[in-house]
Amino acid sequence: MNPFLGWAVLFWMIIMVGSLSIGGYFMFRKFLKSMPKADGKSTLDWQDYYIDKSLPLWNEEGKLLLNELVSPVPELFRDTAKRTIAGKIGELAIKEQVTVIDLDLIIRGYIIATPKRDHKWLVKHLDSKNIDFSKYQGLVE
């Protein structure tokens, strides 16, 4: 057997095991989110509920801002990220009983729904739009 072929097979096996592990990890996370909680609804059910209930509260400006905020997310995951963030914003809107989803609510929902590594991009983006981020510092840290 050619030694090059042996190394190529070994390399291919490592790539395959790595790819399957990464895919399995994301599938398992999705599975856990779809499991019913004590109230009988899963995290994804609640997310969809809050999106449906808060849909009339969104204005065009808010939708555009949400699309801007999820633009750095790779296109493959962008819809999922947008639904997660919109679900959190909807949850805040329903709990606070607002009549329209405004800039403040969108920023707070984005900060709560996203991992800390994404907050640096949010601060840069808001600075470029001349929006004061100082009142949200407590949520970030």
Q: Taking 90 as the threshold, does the pLDDT of residue 83 lie above it? A: yes
How high is the pLDDT of residue 141? 58
pTM to 2 decimal places: 0.79
Q: Taking 90 as the threshold, does the pLDDT of residue 92 lie above it? A: yes
Q: Taking 80 as the threshold, does the pLDDT of residue 81 lie above it? A: yes
How high is the pLDDT of residue 37? 86
**pLDDT band for position 117 (cuts 50, 70, 90):** confident
Q: Taking 80 as the threshold, does the pLDDT of residue 46 lie above it? A: yes
Q: Could you say which DSSP state residue 117 is in?
A: G
Q: What does the CA dihedral 45, 46, 50, 53 come to, rounded to 10 degrees?
A: 60
* Distance separating alpha carbons of residues 2 and 137, to the nearest angstrom: 60
How high is the pLDDT of residue 122? 83
* Distance separating alpha carbons of residues 117 and 115, to the nearest angstrom: 6
Q: Taking 80 as the threshold, does the pLDDT of residue 139 lie above it? A: no
Three-class SS of residue 45? helix
